[in-house]
A and B are shown apart, each in its own frame.
Chain A
Amino acid sequence: MIHSTFQLPTQFGDFGGAYAPETLMASLLELEAAWIESRADASFQAELQDLLTNYAGRATPLYHARRLSEELGLELWLKREDLLHTGAHKLNNSLGQALLAKRMGKTRILAETGAGQHGVATATACALLDLECIIYMGAVDAARQRPNLLRMELLGARVEVVEHGQQTLKDAINEALRAWVGDPQAHYLLGSALGPHPFPSIVAEYQEVIGKEARAQWQAARSGQPDAIIACVGGGSNAIGIFRGFVDLQDVQLIGVEAGGEGIASGKHAARFGGGRPGILHGCESYLLQDEHGQVLPTSSISAGLDYPAVGPEHAQLHCLQRANYVSCTDSEALAGFERLARTEGILPALESSHALGWLIAKCESLAGKRVILNLSGRGDKDLDTVKQLREAQA
């Protein structure tokens, strides 16, 4: 059955929607219909569950970081998405959407990547499910996340390096969307909870497993509720994944950490709630860093995965409802977070996740004695070159 309009709500309050060229609408409608069918199909869900468990390695642990807890004067638990196959939470969504694409009879996958984690996860899912894979990556990101570029190629993906615009995640999404317009037989496997409907809903649902698991693990390990959930927010897929597990518990604080770059006042950052206002980019209405004329502003962050001028629409809604609190962490605070976790817990976090840690370390007094779950969304092996340069620059 071909639908002419969307079947599900497309808005998150005043945000979200589908600001899409008509040339994409047939693909978006087809995707929504297939997704709705797949949710009701027990065999599809069982297949996804099997892959998540036996291939990707779910459930990921909820780990009590005792040494760092003691140093910070609070009780810190880490949701270890860094231990998922391919090293970040991105695989939850890539496996889900790749299976969905297969079900739709697609043979080719297009995807964007910033830090390279979504590109690697998608290339992995495509290798596993025998799908052709084309990844769009900005030239700046390709240079700073070189190990992931090589991983994607080894997994059989073709990486298209995007040489125009700011040459980061935003431009990779532009290029992937253009490619999809010209290739409606492909599936566009968007990696964050943004873009036109139905993407924000699909991605959030495939990432919800993080929050549901964490809640069950918490209940098994501890009594009562955690006091706060902390996650870094680029597009916001890892954050929305863990927030959804706790959003109904009004006493649990939800804290999203944006990239503060060189500080909000410097103008060199990617803090949409800190320095943006509502706007429309990449098919959805949300908070956006833009100039007075509605042109999208360049962003700056040491973390390629957070270096994006807009944010997923569900976060914009949570912000307006004051259900979640969005804060920011500078480059140097994030580096401090990286180093501290490495030394105290023997874990190298991704620079994205290091923003959540960096904020917590800087603001630990405000959470003194509280019980905190931090989503450690990815591992830091990909960031060693960047960290080395930062340390040298600071020395």
Chain B
Amino acid sequence: MYRAEGRAGVAPYVTAGDGGLETTREVLLALDRAGAACVELGVPFSDPIADGPILQAAAQRALESGTNLKGILEMVREVRSAGCEMPIALFSYANPLYSMGWENAAKDSKRAGIDGWLVPDMIPSQAQAMRAAAEGQGLACIFFVAPTSSDERIAAAAQASQGFLYAIGRVGVTGANTLLTEETLDFLQRLRKSCDLPIGVGFGLRSADQIAAVTEHAELAIVGSAFVQRLRDAYEVNPTPSHVAAEAATYLTELQKGLRP
């Protein structure tokens, strides 16, 4: 589910269709060349209840420019044809997939070259139909855990996940020497004890220093809002796909400096 297994990597989150799907296509190709461990490809949804303002705004822009799941999968097929090899996880709220039918959504995802699904409003106990469809097509399902999750819930999420487990939480950025709060550290150590899967950490990461601190305890550092904002800022300066894609590669390389050699 991510490249560079055995050591740590950086996984950017990209909202599909923010700046148009042509931009997203170029961004994915650039991230592949720049050695992203994997990418989380966000499907914009009208009601993203688990997202903060940056991702909400990106989803709204993408929807306004006419982005939909079918078009996103078509674009993924194109980047695969163009030689993109990094794993791509589709990050979608439940309804766009459910609305297609779980089986059809799984088939079309697989055919396009998607490797797995991350569904932020899905918990393992609710996911029987989704998992059956995904497993039938050999798609990974990745579930979420939070600092408030009990050990039993963590074990259940780990058991239901393939590739890695997605840890959500908060990073307190209080100073150079305390990049991770005590709570976050405890959480990551607790995960390590109760699960054998690689751990992907996504909580407000934006700098190489933070990547360095997080990857002492996790295999995958996921950069969401900061990545989307950086691409948006680039788009506002110069909206050509090649410019935004170059900025994506630059930012990824900057973040990867936090990885141990």
Contacts and interface: CB of A to CB of B under 8 A. Distances in A.
B129 to A, nearest CB: 10
B69 A293 contact: yes
A21 B169 CA distance: 12
A164 B56 contact: yes
Nearest to B100: A294
Given A22-B157, A293-B70, A281 B148 contact: no
Interface residues of B, number: 40
A292 B148 CA distance: 36
B95 A290 contact: yes
Contacts of A10: 126
Interface string A270-281: 000000000111
Interface in A287-321: 288, 290, 292-296
B150 A294 contact: no
A295 B144 contact: no
B84 interface: no
Contacts of A177: 49
Interface in B203-259: none
Contacts of A6: 125
Nearest to A18: B126
Interface string B87-102: 0000001111111100
Given A25-B153, A279-B95, A296-B47, A20 B69 contact: no
B63 interface: yes
Contacts of A4: 150, 152-153, 156
B145 A22 contact: yes
A134 to B, nearest CB: 17
A25 B93 CA distance: 16
Nearest to A166: B46
A290 B45 CA distance: 11
A178 interface: yes
**A interface bracket (residues with beta carbon within 8 Å of B):** 35 or more
Contact of A19 (B51, B99, B126): B126
Contacts of B152: 4-5
Contacts of A181: 49-50
Interface stretch (B26-34, B116-124, B174-182, B185-193): B116-124
Contacts of A174: 47-49
B133 interface: no
A19 B168 CA distance: 17
A279 B148 contact: no
Given A19-B126, A20-B123, A21-B144, A295 B63 contact: yes
A42 interface: no
A22 B143 contact: yes
Nearest to B151: A4
Contact of B95 (A2, A170, A288): A288
Interface of B: 45-52, 56, 60, 63, 68-70, 93-100, 120-123, 125-126, 143-146, 148-150, 152-153, 156-157, 168
